[in-house]
Amino acid sequence: MKLQYLLFALFTVFVIQVQANGGYDDYEQWEHNFPDTCQELFKTEHCNECQSLMWNHFKNPGQCATAFNLGRDIFEIIKDSGEEPKPYDLTFFKKGLNKYCHEEFHCSQDKVEKIYNNIQKVCKHELSVKFDWSDNPENFKNITAYAAYGTLLTYYTGIPAREALCTKNKHNNGDFYSFEFIEKLTQWVKNETNADPKAVVTHDLKFVIKGNGKKVRVPKSFFCDPCWRKIAHIYGDYIKDHRLKKSVEKNIWGSCHDLEKLYLPHCTYKRGLGEILKDRSDSKLSERNANPAFGVLSHRMNKLHSLAI
């Protein structure tokens, strides 16, 4: 039986993917038949340097690989439960997050910087491939290039992602900000798509794509949500302090400025009405033609990793 109907929510960099169908359709197949060589994974006769480097990171991710490690914890909890996750049910995500945040985390800036700089160097060609991050992730056909972005971002955001995922909101029963936000977003997707189990959220968090291919815009007011802003600032500050190569940054989210405009817009707050986005920044944003993605790592990448270890 295929695990078709699964909601899998994964924080990736800035991008939170609330996937009704977590791409688990081929999960079981992978579980029984996971590639045990780099060549098999990338379906090639000879792995190039970048593919070999990624393969090594999948096999031996270390603690800096926050998104991989969270994904592994969620996957293990699903496996141990023996249950099939239901669409739009965040139970497993919540348990996995709890488990992950109680584990130790040792990752120094020095160490992680060496790792991500090396990925930028070794995977230079792969990281020059341009993707439209508003597209359905199914359409990213160059798996090597796609995996290169995912691996780079996993390490690059290892330190801020840990903090963003695991910071608790003292004002609200001490739940994680990350969980509160993802819960709201999930509810919205569920309602908006009539609980379509095939709905996917694009990597740039701009759209939900329904099973029938129809795209629905994620309201920008989500970027004014206090929980979102809390976590977005953690990433934003890190990204400003620790820069990637210009060309790579450009392929991922345009400039730092674009990134902030989209994910940390100016918001005004009105009592009783919740948070309202300022119209000015809103209309400008819709004119953008670049498609920034705060993050790229997908459930697909995560699956690769969870099963590789």
Ligand X SMILES: *[C@@H]1O[C@H](CO)[C@@H](O)[C@H](O)[C@H]1NC(C)=O
Produce one character per residue of 64-73: b if its CB has 16 or more CB atoms within 10 Å, e if not.
bbbbbbbbbb
- Closer by beta carbon to ligand X, 51 or else 302: 51
Question: Which range of residues in 138-146, 172-180, 219-227, 283-291 is near ligand X by CB under 6 A?
Answer: 138-146
Sheet holding 200-201, edge to edge: 200-201, 207-209, 215-217
Token readout for 29 is 């197949």
Between 35 and 62, CB nearer to ligand X: 35
Q: Judged by CB under 6 A, does residue 129 bind ligand X? A: yes
Q: CB nearer to ligand X: give 142 or 247.
A: 142
CB of 194 to ligand X, least distance (A): 8
Q: Which of 126, 180, 196, 225 binds ligand X (CB under 6 A)?
A: 126
Cβ 191 to ligand X shortest distance, Å: 4
From residue 179 to residue 208, the character string flagging contacts with ligand X as x (rule: CB under 6 A) and all else as - is ------------xx----------------
Which C-beta is closer to ligand X: that of 56 or that of 191?
191
List the interface residues with ligand X, window 269-298 (CB under 6 A).
Answer: none
Least Å distance, CB 127 to ligand X, is 9
Task: Please identify, using beta-carbon distances, which residue of 44 and 56 lies nearer to ligand X.
Answer: 44
CB nearer to ligand X: give 32 or 212.
212
Phi-psi region of 269 (alpha: psi -120 to 50; beta: other; left: phi over 0): beta
CB of 166 to ligand X, least distance (A): 29
Window 81-100: contact mask with ligand X (x via CB under 6 A): --------------------
125 belongs to the binding site for ligand X (CB under 6 A): yes
Q: How many residues bind ligand X (CB under 6 A)?
A: 8
Q: Counting contacts by CB under 6 A, is residue 142 touching ligand X?
A: yes
The footprint of ligand X (CB under 6 A) covers: 125-126, 129, 142, 144-145, 191-192
